[in-house]
Structure 1
Amino acid sequence: MASLDPSSFTLSLRPKGAQGADDEPVARLVERIYEERGHFRNVTEDSLQAEIEAQERGEASSSVGDDGDGETVADDKRKREELVSAKVEMLKQLGSAANEALTALDFVSLLESRAAPQQAMKSMSPLLQQLVPTGSLGFDKWQMPPPDPAKQRKDEAVSHGWRAQNLESSADSLLKAASRLESEVKKETRYWEQVLSIKEKGWPVSRVPQEKHMLGVHFGFGEAAPYFRQRGFSPLRRNADGGIEFDPTLTDSPKALRVRIVENGEIRGTSQIPTLVGAMDPSIDELIRRAKDSLFEQELHHEILLETWQLLPYNVTVKDSAINVPLGSPDSLTRSHGASTLGAGRSIRLDLVAIEQELPEISSNAEDPLAEEIACVLRLLLAETHRQRLLQKSEPPPPLSDKRRPAIEATILRPILSHFYHMNASHSILQHMESLSKALNRAGMACKFAISTEYGLPDLSLPGLRRNTKLSAGDKLIRSLRGPIFSLSSFSLPSSASVESKDITIAIRTHISAQSFGTEYALHVPASISKILRPDEDESTSSPSRFMFTSGSEACEYLDFLLSLDVAHFVVSKYKDTLAGVDYVPEAENNKARLKVEFSEGRLNLAWVRKGKSMNTKKVVWAPEGGEVRSLKQVLREVLDDT
């Protein structure tokens, strides 16, 4: 191992001119010690003594371990960079200080050149000597004038005035700020009082989604159509007076649905339209209610317009946003004997009108109550649509199915049409039975007829259906409005006057929906008539037959045919022994006289033809009003005499 004796080094690390450690300046020595060993507080007598002993034994100094070589190199590099940057900054500051000092020296030298030019030229810079002539800058010494007491008093007065004016201005600013703050507090208090009153009256209040600092009120219906559901929310903005400013588009021109009954072009009834009289300065609660009612009426008109497109087969038309709903059934039951449909020439006209400030004209039409009832039913049906949509949302979705449940469509006009069409059908059947009953009574044959109506499925007393006792009165009313309508009419046969009663039953069902359209008629025929219609059936198995019709005129014509069979086969047959030579079977080939019994248009026609006497035809007609006055028995005896 090489000796660490400094005298054995072949290369001297001392700068040139340095003869030894004793000749090295103290500042340089301190700097070198700091760089080699760090801060002096880390250098102790014990550490130095240990290092000297280690050198004498020839061991390497352990002051710097192998593990710290990398860190020492990094620290040295960082220190060098810091030294370079510090040196550059120091030189910059020194240059700036020297420039300022030389500038000050030039200023003093130029000022001195006026009194001692030769002396000043020695310290003046060459650039200044070229640019500025010597002696061009001088100075004078002036005595301060004595203070003027009047001016001092004036200055003090001005100072006091400015101070007082500033204090007064500050006081006015504070008073204005206080009054403005008081006004804002009053406005805020009024605004929040109105918001609290809205909340206390049950209106839901929440933040506006687009403006988090603004509150809004929900007054619409959550189950309405998307457009009307969005319009059912309005922000509560504060006006200049601190009150709540409601959306003027919802309250300035409120709307209402008007229902009119039109007959042959003339208005026979009008529903009542609400007014705004006495509401020139309405409260915020009244404005919200007005907006809610107007939005409901607009949605009702919109839903009816959408439903109109599905009711074109029923002659429902739209013109200038006015909906015309004919009350007469497409199957006109107008008959020549005077039995006409209840709604012939009548229609319902629906339109959306603006609510006026003035009092409406007082209407005294006879059918105003009917128009008002129709308007009430329309609103109930829209509310029921909202309720059905809410119930659909509350039900759990079907399991393991990605299909969306179909949306519930509003059914508003269909129940109205169903009731009027059913009234027309029942009225026509009733009139026809009444005409037949009068004609039979005039012919000496007693008969009875009756009709009853049931509304809605929950109120039916049919096999397989039970009354739902858990339904409330309101639910039963809605079910009766939306459900099918049933009427049951019965007509006793003329042949059942002396035996057990035998009736022809007509069941009328009306339901206008997506699956069922119009009115259906079911005629239930007793077994006695069924045996004539189907003679091949066994008597033991014969039972009442049922015949279905979709037209009221066809049902009435078939009723006439059944009564003709009953009179011909059972009433005329009572006189078989008396009327020798007269065959009561119509159109028989071997008869001596052909007898024809026919019901047509509410009349009973009896005609007979004698063979061998130039085919002379005789006819007797029993009508509801007028016609033959003799009984059927008397006329049949005349037929006997004629044979």
Structure 2
Amino acid sequence: MMDSLGSVTLRPWPAPQEELSQEDLLFKIEQLASERGHLRNITEQSLQEDIDAGKHVPEATVEADSADLDEKEKDAPSGQDQRDKVFKAAQEMYSHLEWAKFAATNALDLVSLVLSQDPNKRSLTFFSPNFRDQGLNQGIPFGSFGISRENHEHHNRRPEEVQRMQDLEHRQKVVAQGARMGALDSAVDEILKAAKHLEKEMRRETKYWHEIVSVSDKGWPIQRLRQNARHAPFAVRYGLPEASDHFKARGFAPLQMDKDGSIILDPTLALKPKTFRVRVSVDGNITGTSQLSVEDDFANQSLEKSIQLARDSLLEEELYYEMSLEVRHLLAYGVDFRDSVIYVDAPRLGNASQDRKLLIDCIPRNDPVAGGQGHEHDWLARNVAEALRLLLAHEHSMRLYRRSQLPPPLTARTREKPPPPLLRTLLAVIRHVEGVDSLYVYLGLVTKTLYTAGLDVALNTTRETAWASLAETLKASRKDLSATDQLLEIFMKPFDGKATLTLPTSNGVQPETLTVVTRTIIGQPTFGTEHKLTLSSAMTSDLGLFHQHKFATVEEVKSYLDWLISLHITHRLLKSEYSSYAQIRSQDPRLTVRCKESKKGEPSLKDIKVQLNDGQLKATLMAADSPPESDDAEQSHTWSGPDDNAALREVIRNWVG
């Protein structure tokens, strides 16, 4: 093995050809100078010859190596010595490696401990496992070891250099002091500026909160906003909670903050408020209005007043809007809609031949009142306007009541929501009052006339039965509805008026009564006013009439009652008084009576005709079997007022004899 290694020439591994840097070139030159001697004897040809001859070192070096090799061959140790030497070298190498590892871990722990002074560079992974177990876990803190750099150079400076250094140090101190003073001045300015800004913001917030509390104390609900919370953190809800969807959405306004902290009016609050107006027109002339003169300056109103005006305006607009939707269902009742004005037939005001209308519209609140119009019917216009407002408020209350009840069963059909009965209720009240008043005036006149004629009659009228029993209804009040809602709920139901006329009887024991019930409803099944007349059983059997009769107008009731009372007087009262001398020949209020004997001794037959017309009672003595329309009256008497004291029976007795 050693013999074979003796002729081995060690050469460097050929490196890849690459450009040598200046440092590498200097290294190569130094190497050649140490191996070949002076560079002057080294040429390219000499180097190539050495390569071809297998020589790459000088001969002296080769000879020395050969001599050493011979000596080593002579002194070559045995195999055991070689193994012991290799084992010893391995142990030394292992000890060196252990020491190198120990030094490296110590250096790593030292550098990591120094770097741990920075909080961003503290991590357990930077330390060795041994140091983590024996050091950090035993209480050694991070950053407990530091390194600083100090300059230990000491030399004597020249005086001018010392003076220059002192001047520089003095200037640096002055500059630093000036910089500190400038920074302090800037800091003071910033603090003063921040204090002024804070004071301004405090005054601004105080003023804004003061106005917010003022609005809340007036009863307006305040709500916090999420959007734009910096400039408008709160909003006021001034709309009615049970209003229609369109007007409920409009009843909400943010309370924006101005630069000085005051509240800026939202555009919805800054709009000109509107008012609901009702006018009374008689023959084309305005004789009454519900509009009041307004002298307030809306631009300078307080915030609370502006919110109240916006709420009132919203209610007025909703009232007009709901009535406009209701008009199209009431065209058959004389209701018209032209040029944004609703025309409704007004109740009778004195002369029945006058053309009377209610004109309903919605106008700006500050519009001036038109001049040159009458004011004698202002009370009627204002009462109608206030009644319609109360009906809308009642509708809002009933919507809340209906929502609090159990909902109806679910169906596939969409439930229609009709407009609230505002105009319907107004028309029903007007028509019912007109109907019952006209009828009761007639019945009162008839009662006075019959009483003047010596007939014992009595009249009992009730304009509305629910109004008559109102006290009892409110006493048994419901807990779920207030007294006001119960009162207004009566106006939503059909109106029933009742009049009872007690007539004289032939026997004077059991009175005969006529009952007229007047029902008014603008809807199914009546669609207006209906009068139902109910007769007593004795009258129906004696006169051969039906028990009940229905009439659509007051004129029909008057005409039928005139005929019926006249028929009752002739066919029942006079027939009972002259039973043996009287005879009924027709269904007209006419009675044939045998009068006293004439001079020739022959009895005569006369017809007594009784007519009741518009409160006037007329009795006529005519020839028997004369035509009904005949004017040949032998005698007649008319009762038209309380001044006539003649009794009907006495007058007829004087005629018959």
TM-score by length of 2: 0.61
Paired residues of 2:591 and 2:608 also in contact (CA < 8 A):
no
Distance change (3 Å), C-alpha of 1:219 and 1:548 = same
Cα deviations across residues 74-93 of structure 1 (Å, max 9, x unaligned)? Answer: xxxxxxxxxxxxxxxxxxxx
Aligned-pair CA distance for 1:489: 0.9
Identity of aligned residues (%): 30
Paired residues of 2:592 and 2:607 also in contact (CA < 8 A):
no
In the other structure, the counterpart of 2:316 is 297
Distance change (3 Å), C-alpha of 1:601 and 1:351 = same
Aligned-pair CA distance for 1:525: 0.5
Please state whether the residue corresponding to 1:324 is helix, strand or coil.
strand
In the other structure, the counterpart of 1:479 is 489
In the other structure, the counterpart of 2:196 is 179
In the other structure, the counterpart of 2:278 is 259
Higher Rg: 2
Paired residues of 2:274 and 2:313 also in contact (CA < 8 A):
yes
Structure 2 CA distance for aligned equivalents of residues 529 and 432 of structure 1: 21
Paired residues of 2:288 and 2:381 also in contact (CA < 8 A):
yes
Q: Which runs of 5+ in 1 are unaligned?
A: 1-6, 8-13, 20-39, 45-146, 148-156, 536-543
**Residue in structure 2 matching 1:618, options 627, 632, 636:** 632
Q: Which runs of 5+ in 2 are unaligned?
A: 5-10, 16-53, 55-96, 102-163, 165-173, 594-604
Paired residues of 1:415 and 1:481 also in contact (CA < 8 A):
yes
Please state whether the residue corresponding to 2:279 is helix, strand or coil.
strand
Paired residues of 2:449 and 2:615 also in contact (CA < 8 A):
yes
Distance change (3 Å), C-alpha of 1:604 and 1:575 = same
**Residue in structure 1 matching 2:205, options 177, 181, 188:** 188
Q: What does residue range 326-405 of structure 1 map to in structure 2 within 5 Å? A: 326-328=345-347, 345-356=355-366, 365-399=375-409, 401=411, 405=415
In the other structure, the counterpart of 2:558 is 556
Confirm or deny that 1:597 pairs with 2:613.
Answer: no
**Residue in structure 1 matching 2:648, options 628, 632, 635:** 632
Distance change (3 Å), C-alpha of 1:533 and 1:573 = closer
Aligned-pair CA distance for 1:381: 1.0
Distance change (3 Å), C-alpha of 1:344 and 1:158 = same
Paired residues of 2:243 and 2:396 also in contact (CA < 8 A):
yes
Aligned-pair CA distance for 1:244: 0.7
Structure 2 CA distance for aligned equivalents of residues 399 and 431 of structure 1: 49
**Residue in structure 2 matching 1:453, options 448, 463, 466:** 463
Aligned-pair CA distance for 1:163: 11
Paired residues of 2:253 and 2:268 also in contact (CA < 8 A):
no
Cα deviations across residues 154-194 of structure 1 (Å, max 9, x unaligned)? Answer: xxx99999999999888767655653443233223322332
Confirm or deny that 1:206 pairs with 2:226.
Answer: no
**Residue in structure 2 matching 1:572, options 571, 574, 595:** 574
The range that moved more, 396-405 or 416-425, is 396-405
Distance change (3 Å), C-alpha of 1:593 and 1:454 = same
In the other structure, the counterpart of 1:492 is 502
Cα deviations across residues 441-464 of structure 1 (Å, max 9, x unaligned)? Answer: 4544342223123354994899xx
Structure 1 CA distance for aligned equivalents of residues 318 and 626 of structure 2: 77
Structure 2 CA distance for aligned equivalents of residues 532 and 210 of structure 1: 84
Structure 2 CA distance for aligned equivalents of residues 42 and 514 of structure 1: 114
Confirm or deny that 1:433 pairs with 2:433.
Answer: no
Cα deviations across residues 293-326 of structure 1 (Å, max 9, x unaligned)? Answer: 1111111111121122222122122233222221
Q: Which amino acid aligns with 2:397?
A: R
Aligned-pair CA distance for 1:234: 0.8
Distance change (3 Å), C-alpha of 1:483 and 1:220 = same
Structure 2 CA distance for aligned equivalents of residues 461 and 357 of structure 1: 42
Structure 1 CA distance for aligned equivalents of residues 206 and 371 of structure 2: 43
Q: What does residue range 112-127 of structure 1 map to in structure 2 within 5 Å? A: none
In the other structure, the counterpart of 2:530 is 520
Distance change (3 Å), C-alpha of 1:492 and 1:576 = same
Paired residues of 1:583 and 1:594 also in contact (CA < 8 A):
no
In the other structure, the counterpart of 1:52 is none
Aligned-pair CA distance for 1:626: 10
Distance change (3 Å), C-alpha of 1:211 and 1:287 = same
Confirm or deny that 1:507 pairs with 2:507.
Answer: no
In the other structure, the counterpart of 1:412 is 422
Cα deviations across residues 567-586 of structure 1 (Å, max 9, x unaligned)? Answer: 12112214536857x65655
In the other structure, the counterpart of 1:237 is 256
Cα deviations across residues 344-370 of structure 1 (Å, max 9, x unaligned)? Answer: 643333222322399999999454344
Aligned-pair CA distance for 1:629: 8.2
How many residues align? The count is 479
Structure 1 CA distance for aligned equivalents of residues 201 and 333 of structure 2: 62
Structure 2 CA distance for aligned equivalents of residues 622 and 380 of structure 1: 50
Structure 1 CA distance for aligned equivalents of residues 573 and 511 of structure 2: 14
Structure 1 CA distance for aligned equivalents of residues 454 and 468 of structure 2: 42
Distance change (3 Å), C-alpha of 1:570 and 1:42 = farther
**Residue in structure 1 matching 2:305, options 270, 276, 286:** 286
**Residue in structure 1 matching 2:241, options 214, 222, 233:** 222
